[in-house]
Chain A
Amino acid sequence: MKNKLQRIREDFLKQLAEIKDPNFLHELEIKYLSRKGELSELMGGLKDLSVDLKKEVGELANSVKKELQEKFNEASKALNNFSGKNNVVDVTLPGTKLERGHLNPITLVQNELEDIFTSLGFMILDGPELESDYYNFTALNVAPNHPARDMQDTFYVDLKNKDGQYDLLMRTQTSPVQVRAMQKYGAPLKALIPGRCFRNEATDARHEHTFYQVEGMLIGKNINFANLKSFLEIVGQKLFGPSTKLRMRPKFFPFVEPGNNGEYTCFLCQGKGCRVCKNTGWLEIVGAGLIHPDVLRAGGIDPEIYSGLAFGFGLNRLAMLKYNINDVRLFNSGDLKFLEQF
């Protein structure tokens, strides 16, 4: 039996040395090393031997099997690596091409903002895109005859209420979620609200009827203007770098009082003045303010006990600035040539 084992070993090694084509390797493997190969067959006969012999031959068989397997692996590796005619392989050949998918740049910027605010303990909230006149305007202190309510500015849908009026609309801002969140969670509250918004305006390179906003709000006891200011500062630094400065100016929004806009040092020119910041060194990025007491009331929160701050960004604008995109329509275009860059 030992002789038989030796013969198998010699035959195998001899044949292995002769192989130049990797296709023959497989045949060799099946003949000797497979489950039904010569080696296994021989080892299958072990059970008929005496205990001592079984041990001796068994050990030998195992070491031969190990040796042959190793030799086979070596040869197989060598053959597969140097398979060219003259054993020359162009190692610079590319790998198999695997396609890459692409996220919309709005998603990228939104994720970045969500991460900043999640790290500050904010909830991320959503709300309905088809909203009511009540949540989109009335609860946000927008007067009944405010221009924003005009059909020229807002998409209404063709469902009339009991009084025969259109009171359902495509939300013009993410702010209705502020009031919904106050009603659901009460105070204190920290929330970031990203989402799709709509304005009834014709589209061109700078205008879109479908766009994206992110707004943040913080409600607590003694939330004050100095807090709002420092919040806007850290947001700017997170978005545009640690040396970013904030400049605030008065601006009217019905749902905050006081209201302001916030400009950040232009990150493209570091405030020196360039085409993008129209040579001012500043970029107008954020609208903000302390939440109007009427809005807190609409959310069921007592403005004598709690106060809040709120701020909002246009995601399209942030993405356009960040990636130097000059046509706002590209975001909703579904154009591969656009998406493939992100």
Chain B
Amino acid sequence: MYISLNWLKDYVKITSKIKPENIAEELTNHTVEVEGFINSAAQFNKVVIGKILEINPHPNADRLRLTLVDIKSKKLNIVCGAPNLELGQLVAVAMVGAILPNGLEIKESLIRGEKSEGMLCAEDELGLGKDHDGIMAINENAKVGEAFAKYLKSDDIVLEIDNKSLSNRPDLLNHYGIARELSAIFDLTLKPYEKVISRKWDFLSDKENKFEVKVMASDLCLRYMAVAISNIEIKESPAWLKDRLIAANQRPINNIVDLTNYVMFDCGQPMHAFDATKIKKIVVRRAEKDEVIETLDEKNRILSADDLVISDGKEPVALAGVMGGHNSEITADTTELLLESANFIAHSVRKTSQKLGLRTESSVRFEKALDPALTELAIFRFLTLLKEICPDMKINSSLIDINNVNQKELIVDFDLEWLTNKIGQEIPKDNVINILEKLGFILEDKKTEILKVHIPSWRATKDISNKEDLAEEIIRLYGYNNIDSQMPILTMDLPEVNEERKIERKIKNILCLKNSLNEAYNYSFVGEDQLKKLNIDFFNYIKLANPLSGIQNILRQSLVPGLVSNIKTNQFKSDSFGFFEFGSVFFKTVSNLKKDNTEGNFLPYQEKRLGLVISGSDDLIARLKGIIDSLFKNILNKDVEAEFLVLENVPGWADKNSIAKIILLGQEIGEIALLNQEVCDNFNLKKGAALAELNFNKLVEIILSQPTFHFVDTPKYPPIIRDLAFVVNEKVLYNDLRRDILKFNSLIKSVDLFDVYVGNKLAADEKSLAFHINYLSDERTLKSEEIDLLQAELINHLDKTFEAKLRNF
């Protein structure tokens, strides 16, 4: 939003001591963010008044002429195509180096072979209107050589305000509202709005009134005011009006349209003027399904029953609060108009404007919930100004006012002691009262400690409703930066430790620092194509109702797709690398997390996973198993061993010969697998990848359920270590053999595999597994002889159970 300083001066006295930069800074500190300010004179830099001394035909172009222009300091040769050139005429000359408001930069150039040292300007090029038919007419009293800005008396400063910072302040989207804030910030007197309006008009009586207005959708239209006016002459607006609209970044159109815009920028109420001869009556109603309106911008808009329209009883003539209709617009021939000043419900306007992609100055204001009292002030303000620019105008209706507003005045008890506690320091009562009164709050009795504060209508729509809201008014105007900071005094307590987060961080450090993996953050969303390439059926996946794209429209149920894409992204950047990721996955089943404040409603189940992937050429599965094993040992600070068991359900992306369940302390905790060749091909992966996915929530559970660690005496007696290699059928699993050896006798403390052999020294379906078997007793030194005996029994036992034969080297 653009705010003109000259316009503000209509309502508050801004002395020369208050510099534009002060205003920008203080508004930002107390009210809304000012993004910058524009000095209106600066935009006419290097534009001066000149006089045409000669006009000659252009040798190479019929439409162009060569002029010699006097700008006092020198005489310039300028090529010009305008038809309205006359000798002795005064013109606006843009010299070389000028950058015009429309963005055009003036350079010395050759135009069809003739030198041109500047440009004679038309209105539109100067941002002063839309006229491009000829050069702009300059008053003959102007001085040759004078700066064009000085000629225009252009001495305004325009503040640019960030609309986003106004989202909860519908009262500030206009000059009067900003003036009110300035009056509170700089302690200035604010001119009452009543002083700039006249309420005395010759409205027709209700009996005489011919215009019928009906509001059918009173839930979407809080108030509809209208007045018919005749004897209007449509013409260009006077200079002061055009100047102000230009300052507000609004293109002047004609006196009536300009005036509706002016009032909107003045007090915040959007208005619309219909050509009264084109409409018989006004009916405010919901649109019919697929009803069409051609809006002022000459585009057809297809409507639905959610949209509110103004109709003439038959067809829509305006899109309520958004834009007028082409069929009823003011034209050069209009002599009678019907002026609308209404209050439409914010969300309805917003929905319509958003759905149609049509954001206007009007819709932007209605969206924020405007004060319904404003409709009346705006009508009187319009009539007051109209009388100035169309003195012959005649009121041709009653003051139509259909008022569905049913809100009582809001009164808030404001306890000053409470305020002191809320802020942490006392703000003098006089300051509090002054701030509230400057902002338009009415106080019943200023002597009491609990002030009864009447909330003005323009702050009551959604902005202020309780004492906390009032506290904000006091704090922000007193100045956030004027309040002394003070650390809270709190009772000490021992906060609950988030073990999960602690473990997560520890795991990240182990994987990163010890195993050289990199931490990936992948999106929670995956795409159909991606899942299809991984042979994953996504029938049961939660999908986004409104995705940005088909590439990311499904909520992931596994970290695998993301990790595969990490491999793909980096496959040419490094020979061998790996990633891990912590991330949530989402399921349609129900969790134990409450969904709302009612009983029995729960969120979908979500689980945190730890995903791992490595890529390269060596034995990937063995390496990844090693990483997982080392992770378990480190995170549990204990010589646990990761176990890997056969997994029957093979996901479509996994190699069915290289997939296993991961077991930690007897509990299944995840899966590990090699990516199969088909999937590698689908993604054009040049090297293989091994992936593992662990249920992190379960891992945390296991870790936390471990008994407290205690030191155990180091072994008093020496161990006896025997190395044995067994030849078994290839289908016998290492883990079964290992478990069996371990539980064979309590003297066997550990079994470490140190070699696996398959080859031509054995039969084709055989393999050899070689173990260090560690015998240890807590009570005595073991004798070689007893271990020999035990070993013989073990060999015998394994022969019976697995048909394992001791390997003969």
Contacts and interface: CB of A to CB of B under 8 A. Distances in A.
A152 B469 CA distance: 29
Most buried by B among A100, A151, A220, A251: A251
Interface stretch (A37-45, A62-70, A131-139): A131-139
Contact of A130 (B347, B423, B555, B570): B555
Given A188-B490, A257-B469, A333-B569, A102 B545 contact: no
Contact of A132 (B488, B525, B573, B603): B603
Interface residues of A, number: 90
Given A156-B544, A230-B485, A307 B422 contact: yes
B548 A166 contact: no
**Max chain B CB contacts within 10 Å: which of A156, A159, A249?**
A249
A130 B542 contact: yes
Interface string A192-231: 0000101011100000011000000010101111110111
A103 interface: yes
Nearest to B582: A107
Contacts of B569: 333-336
B133 to A, nearest CB: 42
Contacts of A158: 542-545
Contact of B519 (A107, A220, A231, A257): A107
Interface string B483-510: 1111110111101111011000100100
Contacts of A243: none
A25 interface: no
Interface string B345-384: 0110010001000000000000100000000000000000
Contacts of B462: 143
B516 A101 contact: yes
Contacts of B498: 123-126
B596 A135 contact: yes
A7 to B, nearest CB: 32
B362 to A, nearest CB: 17
Contacts of A242: none
B584 A101 contact: no
**Chain B: number of interface residues, binned into ranges:** 35 or more
A185 B496 CA distance: 10
Interface stretch (A16-24, A53-61, A76-84, A290-298): A290-298
Nearest to A210: B523
B521 A106 contact: yes
Given A122-B495, A250-B472, A336 B574 contact: yes
Contacts of A231: 487-488
B441 to A, nearest CB: 16
B168 interface: yes
Contacts of A312: none
Contacts of A111: 505
B32 to A, nearest CB: 8
A196 B608 CA distance: 13
Nearest to B604: A130
Contact of A339 (B518, B547, B604): B518
Contacts of B486: 224, 226-227, 229-230
Contacts of A90: none
B603 A102 contact: no
Contact of A226 (B485, B500, B520, B545): B485
A283 interface: no
A41 B356 CA distance: 100
A101 B501 contact: no
Given A101-B513, A332-B522, A151 B546 contact: yes
Contacts of A331: 521
B771 interface: no
B522 A159 contact: no
B89 interface: no
Contacts of B606: 128-130
B523 A225 contact: no
B517 to A, nearest CB: 5
A320 to B, nearest CB: 14
Contact of B484 (A123, A198, A226, A251): A226
A166 B488 contact: no
B277 interface: no
B545 A224 contact: no
Nearest to A153: B546
A323 to B, nearest CB: 15
B274 interface: no
B577 interface: yes
Interface string A110-126: 01001000100111111
Nearest to A229: B485
A190 interface: yes
A-B pairs with the 9 shortest C-beta distances? A226-B424, A258-B472, A145-B347, A230-B485, A134-B596, A101-B512, A224-B424, A248-B480, A99-B516
17 contacts: A98-B516, A101-B517, A104-B519, A123-B496, A126-B501, A130-B586, A155-B545, A155-B546, A157-B544, A158-B542, A158-B543, A168-B595, A224-B488, A225-B475, A225-B483, A229-B484, A250-B472
